[in-house]
């Protein structure tokens, strides 16, 4: 299962979410990629005030803070 984190540099919320994902990754068995919203005008328009955003395809799992329950629920369905 591959997830996407929409993020930006120098964002403490982004750093916190990524650190928490790293602790859960071995247990839950997912992979993720990090995309910088400031590197793409379309991503900046879509996610600018919401970062960090954890998504699976077009589905947003959570934003601002990691919602572990929502992540576990999503992974249980996938």
- Cα–Cα distance measured from residue 11 to residue 26, given in angstroms and rounded to the nearest whole number: 24
Burial of 3 per CB tally in 10 Å (0-12, 13-18, 19+): buried
What pTM was computed for the model?
0.93
Of 39, 77, 40, nearest to 59 (Cα)?
A: 77
Q: What's the pLDDT score for residue 67?
A: 97
pLDDT at 77 exceeding the cut of 80: no
Domain segments of the chain as ranges: 2-77
Q: What's the pLDDT score for residue 1?
A: 82
2-77 placed in CATH 3.40.30.10: yes
Q: Which residues of 47-63 are buried (b: 16+ CB within 10 A; e: fewer)?
A: beeebbbbbbeeeebbb
11-65 tens-digit pLDDT: 999 999 999 999 999 999 999 999 999 999 999 999 999 999 999 999 999 999 9
């Amino acid at each position: 299962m591959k997830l996407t984190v929409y993020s930006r540099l120098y964002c403490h919320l982004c750093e916190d979410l990524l650190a928490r994902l790293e602790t859960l990754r071995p247990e839950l068995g997912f992979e993720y990629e990090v995309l910088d919203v400031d590197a793409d005008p379309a991503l900046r328009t879509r996610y600018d005030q919401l970062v960090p955003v954890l998504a699976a395809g077009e589905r947003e799992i959570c934003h601002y803070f990691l919602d572990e329950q929502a992540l576990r629920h999503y992974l249980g369905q996938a």
